[in-house]
Amino acid sequence: MRPSMACQNSPSTGSFLALSSDCTEAKRLCLKDSVCNTTYQTLENCSSAKTHPISLDHDARAKCLDAELAIRSSPLLRCKCRRRMRRQEHCLRIYWTVHSSLMHGYMNMETSPYKDPANKEPKEMDYNRLAALVSDSNLAGDNTNHCLKATHICSMNKKCVRWRTAYASICTRGAEAGETCNRLMCHKGLRHFFEKVHEDFTKRLLFCPCENEVCGERRRKAIVPECSFQESIKPNCLSLWHACVQDNICKSRLADFQHNCQPADVSPDGCPQHTHAACLQAYLGMIGTHMTPNYISNSSVAISLWCTCESSGNQKEECDQILGMFISNKCLKNTIQSQMHLNRTTQEGQAELSYTPSQSIHGRSTSTSLASGMIQEMKVKTNEDISEHSSLPRASSVYSGAGLSWPCPVLLLLPLLLSPR
């Protein structure tokens, strides 16, 4: 009997129909059913063979095909994972085991492994209250620098400043000595920040509207691009894509991004069903992965990957598609500009790819000099910054690092990220 028929007619399959929305729970119940268990184990072996250089003979390929057909009648096929859930990577591994057939080719992951986000998060955050407090204090500074204001507000929220300080210390570690940063740990720290801190804070730090390059520099450097984004030599975009699809987290975030930010020419705003909120959340999910995007300069709101399509050979078209998801994506462009509340004139002016010699990004060669500048600036400003924040009781101990055991050299590397300019 073919597995597809057995799985479909298995009497215990219906026992977890109602609970199948969570992949972790769906797998647990599937393994209790002998037929579903066998089918899933086969898919695990097939999925491993696809992601490793393992050659399958004709019989093995036939078994994989039968298992893929069989699982289509199982509730496992409809399971999803939740953003910010515990053991998220385990849940995603189950999802991609069941959906391994979706990985045949480029630009073919338009189904997100994540459940649709709720309209509102259950807990109301205090961003507006803190924003009002900053506006009424001497921390407001230049009212035109919205990125600086967002940094001050983050510093007054315990969770925001804790996780921001955490990733900043990891991503700048070794910069003073000119050492290469630990990109994997930097990416992990960034993912933790965007997963654990409320979007009221994260999206304002990353999508703050700017009127000058001082503000734009703070916005561009919010993710510590010297470690998380840039390399001394731009890799081919195909290399980034291949690294991404070998990693369940990156692959899932990419699928979510493609699903929610897929351009729609028939829509006035370029997004299917006007899903700006979903696209914004999907974009934030890409930060801290192999395909981390960022602003291309201090004077632009244009987004790109740090990669090139030169020397792509006969895969130039596929490479252009990968890069085009970010540099020529109407939905993503309008989503970011909508978040920044830019008017049409500003959109047209700021969306141009504009570079100046002083602000161009040249890769890791800039990392050491930038870190040195950060260190010198911190020597002058550290005490002043902490003193300023001490006038606000809730923010003072958090901003100065109380409760966190950061070594002194690490504190000297954070001025551009965590202190006013």
- CATH number of the CATH domain containing 326: 1.10.220.110
Give the DSSP H/E element, type plus range, for residue 284. Answer: helix 276-286
372-381: pLDDT as tens digits: 333 333 333 3
C-alpha to C-alpha distance for 19 and 243, rounded to whole angstroms? 33
pLDDT band of 107, cuts 50, 70, 90: low
Pick from 52-61, 140-149, 259-268 the range whose average pLDDT is largest: 259-268
69 and 158: one domain? no
pLDDT > 70? residue 353: no
Q: Is the dihedral of CA 232, 254, 186, 340 positive or negative?
A: positive
Show Cβ contacts of residue 86 under 8 Å, excluding neighbours closer than 6 positions.
Answer: none
| Runs of H (alpha helix) within 84-210 | 88-98, 127-135, 146-155, 158-172, 183-196, 199-206
Structural domain count, the chain: 2
pLDDT band of 111, cuts 50, 70, 90: confident
199 and 327: one domain? yes
Choice between 286 and 138, residue whose per-residue pLDDT is larger: 286
Q: What is the mean pLDDT of residues 412-418?
A: 42
Name the domain boundary from 348, 365, 380.
348
277 and 213: one domain? yes
- DSSP string over 11-51: TTGGGGSTTTTBHHHHHHHHTTSHHHHHHHHHHHHHHHHHH
Name the domain boundary from 315, 348, 381.
348
pLDDT band of 202, cuts 50, 70, 90: very high
189 and 320: one domain? yes
69 and 177: one domain? no
pLDDT > 50? residue 311: yes
pLDDT band of 102, cuts 50, 70, 90: low
pLDDT > 80? residue 295: yes
Find out whether 167 and 191 touch, Cβ atoms under 8 Å: no
User: Which residue segment(s) compose the domain that 240 sits in?
Assistant: 144-348
Find out whether 81 and 88 touch, Cβ atoms under 8 Å: yes
The dihedral over CA atoms of 37, 41, 44, 48, expressed in degrees to the nearest 10, equals: 180
Find out whether 25 and 97 touch, Cβ atoms under 8 Å: no
Name the domain boundary from 348, 375, 400.
348
69 and 169: one domain? no
pLDDT band of 65, cuts 50, 70, 90: confident
Q: What percent of the chain has pLDDT over 90?
A: 40
190 and 262: one domain? yes
158 and 74: one domain? no
315-333: pLDDT as tens digits: 999 999 999 999 999 999 9
167 and 226: one domain? yes
Q: What percent of the chain has pLDDT over 70?
A: 67
